[in-house]
A and B are shown apart, each in its own frame.
Chain A
């Protein structure tokens, strides 16, 4: 009886949105059973929200996870490239600050234990691995109060549905800029890179170079992409800032001259309906963007 209750609880929990958010959407790798994929995209949150292959005439999957660094993008590719067909396209989705190293906590690292090979997990810790696998197996047993609290909250939210207010894009863009400055320790976005940032960028250049070589060696086609951002955010990323953090990084890493598609200023995606907030695309925007990029790459 106890087992039955546990199983039922876990089944309910696994269908909730909070549980999906808890694992940052990595469940798509737990049950992955699609082979010979034509195209996949990697990336952090911006990539996660920018791509949607549903209804398109290709076999594609969004492998982006947020938050995520380029190093983990590479680890996902190393672990899952067997699912791609020969000649498949690998879209490496970049954010404005992909060239910098962001700090990660044990909590943000936990998800990787559930779907990556231990050899590819940064700062591997066996205790963390056991913890992650136990939660994955039975969330209600491992964190009962947390599960009950969040599930009840979600049920209440479902019945007492309040439409979320429209996003104030200007305010949201300012918040994103502030949080990035804080996250990466940047004082002035237009100033040249600090010594520390130069070092971090050098490391990331090496990672991106290796990713490109890795794809080429395995008959995969890498493409570097910057997804669209809302005009309110776009205008806050000056030419100096973009040159320092994005374009010089891409130029130095892309010595093999793989296609680089920059949609940051693409005016086809100016409409508010394309975005959830100033940085993340909406489902509608993602579908439109994915269709556009596949056409540009002549994949569809």
Chain B
């Protein structure tokens, strides 16, 4: 722990500002954006305090791997409830997803549709289009449904009303086991946003 508690003070201040800005007295979920190498455990310690005080109803992390959780396990009193990371059929991160499931950590997916901007292996786009045609949905909806059926909560961002509506409209169809397997088969561990560039040494 840092002697003067500067990091912990910042966590508390940021939470207070957010509560004020939202005009509420508690937050449903507070996430640590990155497992900052030098401050990871200290930030988590303060997040635990906020959780115990009832200011936040759940606490979690982002972009954490198995090793980060195992590090926290040694010192934490509350284990992370959520892990938010980037994933898609091109980057399934299956071992991490399995770890989260086994440890009761809910998975949130950020930038779930970013992979559509990448040049992927031949067949990926075609496969998505085929499924989109079959279910009369957009390919973005197929990907979001894929995430939901993996037990994840994707959080696509859009400023367009129609797209926002479309992103929610994914609960009236279900991909078959074969279709899920086929989409997972496109995994090439392809990161859209290289994590180490945003948080060196994470």
A residues near B (Cβ < 8 Å) are 35-36, 75, 78-83, 85-86, 116-117, 119-120, 214, 217-218
Contact = CB atoms under 8 A, between A and B. Distances in A.
Nearest to B201: A78
Contacts of A79: 196-197, 200
A81 B67 CA distance: 15
A117 B198 contact: yes
A35 B191 contact: yes
Contacts of A35: 188-191, 194
Given A35-B190, A35-B191, A36-B188, A82 B201 contact: no
Q: How many B residues touch the partner, as a band?
A: 10 to 19
Contact of B201 (A36, A83, A214): A214
B189 A82 contact: no
B196 A78 contact: yes
Contacts of A86: 189
B49 to A, nearest CB: 25
A1 to B, nearest CB: 33
Interface in B49-79: 67
**Residue of B191, B194, B197, B200 ringed by the most chain A CB atoms within 10 A:** B200
Contacts of A78: 196, 200-201
A205 to B, nearest CB: 19
Contacts, number: 39
Contacts of A218: 67
B174 interface: no
Interface string B160-202: 0000000000000000000000000000111100111111110
Nearest to B195: A82
Nearest to B190: A35
A173 to B, nearest CB: 37
Given A35-B194, A120-B200, 17 more contacts: A35-B189, A35-B190, A36-B188, A75-B200, A78-B200, A79-B196, A79-B197, A80-B194, A81-B196, A82-B195, A83-B196, A86-B189, A117-B197, A117-B198, A117-B199, A214-B201, A217-B67
Given A82-B195, A217-B67, A119 B190 contact: no
B199 to A, nearest CB: 8
B196 A36 contact: no
Contacts of A82: 191, 194-197
**Residue of A78, A86, A120 ringed by the most chain B CB atoms within 10 A:** A78
Contacts of B191: 35, 82
Nearest to B193: A82
Given A35-B191, A36-B188, A36-B189, A80 B197 contact: yes
A117 B194 CA distance: 12
A83 B193 CA distance: 10
Contacts of B67: 217-218
B64 to A, nearest CB: 13
A36 B187 CA distance: 12
A288 B196 CA distance: 32
Nearest to B90: A35
Contacts of B188: 35-36
A116 B196 CA distance: 10
B189 A80 contact: no
A86 B188 CA distance: 12
Contact of B200 (A36, A85, A117): A117
A219 to B, nearest CB: 9
A86 B189 CA distance: 9
Nearest to B199: A117
A217 B199 CA distance: 16
